[in-house]
Amino acid sequence: MKLALFDCDGTLVDSQDVIVTAMTRAFDRAGRPVPPRSAILSIVGLSLVEAMRRLGDDDPAFPAEALAELYRGAFHELRAESAVLEPLFPGMRATLDLLKAREDVVLGIATGKSQRGVAAVLRHHGLEGRFMTIQTADDAPSKPHPAMVLQAMAAVGVEPADTVLIGDTSFDMTMARAAGARALGVTWGYHARDLLMASGAERLVDHAADLLPAMDGLWGTRR
Ligand SMILES: [Mg+2]
């Protein structure tokens, strides 16, 4: 059996607009200057408090926990206000359907989102039940710690060499390699190609249609 372990934000769904809007509301409500869009997108994928710490330049006096709470509130409001906050990236549904038909592959998710956040995304897109293991910030340390990948592999009983982590950030690539899994970078998300390669990506794909052939290439070979 093989495991395709997907990151969520920036890989399966395009969450940049809702994340930037929620961050803007959180910082406004805290009376603090809103970080630039590029800075916000650079931390997508980390667990929320860790992301806030980075936005505060790891200053111990920075109110990361309070901002994380304001962010959760703002995100919840936005979900109530709008129907399609986080669209699937082009071609992703077709790729997930092809994977569903593969009897030799199980799917999983490893994300900085909460279980509640992932469930809302999957429900919205009619993808409940597709992913056999869902690892989140609720159950593991923030990426790039390898725990989410290790827990996912243990949950479905798949070896590291048969596991491909598909993600859009350096955090994903570092996490995958630290867990001994294969690292496949996607270029439609929030980190640049050279950063993905520098952090351990074994291959990069530019279109969802190229994902399955790239996965098959990594599964069939030794590093
Ligand atoms: Mg991501």
Which residues of the chain fall below pLDDT 70? 83-84, 222-223
H helix intervals, 30-181: 37-42, 48-55, 64-81, 92-100, 115-124, 147-156, 170-178
The domain spans of the chain are 2-14+86-219, 16-81
User: Which residue among 9, 14, 168, 172 is the active-site one?
Assistant: 9
The gap from C-alpha 192 to its chain's centroid, in whole angstroms, comes to: 15
Q: What is the pTM of this model?
A: 0.92
pLDDT in the model for residue 83: 60
Q: What is the pLDDT of residue 79?
A: 83
pLDDT tens, residue by residue, 82-95: 766 799 999 999 99
- The encoded tokens of residue 200 equal 């351990």
C-alpha of residue 15 to centroid of ligand 1, in Å: 9
Distance in Å, CA 144 to ligand 1 centroid: 11
Q: 16-81 has which fold?
A: DNA polymerase; domain 1 (1.10.150)
Ligand 1 center to residue 185 CA distance, Å? 10
Q: At what angle do helices 147-156 and 170-178 cross, to 10 degrees?
A: 60
Q: Are 138 and 113 in contact (CB under 8 A)?
A: no
Annotated catalytic, 9?
A: yes
pLDDT, residue 85, reads 79
Instruction: Determine the distance separating the centroid of ligand 1 and the alpha carbon of 151, expressed in angstroms.
Output: 18
User: Is 97 one of the catalytic residues?
Assistant: no
CA dist., res. 40 & res. 54, Å (int): 10
Q: Domain 2-14+86-219: state its class.
A: alpha beta
Instruction: Please choose, from the candidates 145, 162, 144, 166, the residue with its C-alpha nearest in 3D space to the C-alpha of residue 153.
Output: 162
| 143 alpha carbon – ligand 1 mean position (Å) | 10
Contact 130, 107 (CB under 8 A): yes
Which residue in the list 7, 14, 168, 172 is annotated as catalytic? 7
Which pLDDT score is estimated for 84? 63
Write down the pLDDT at residue 220: 74
| Angstrom distances, CA of residue 113 to CA of 53, 59, 74, 134, 205 | 16, 23, 15, 10, 23
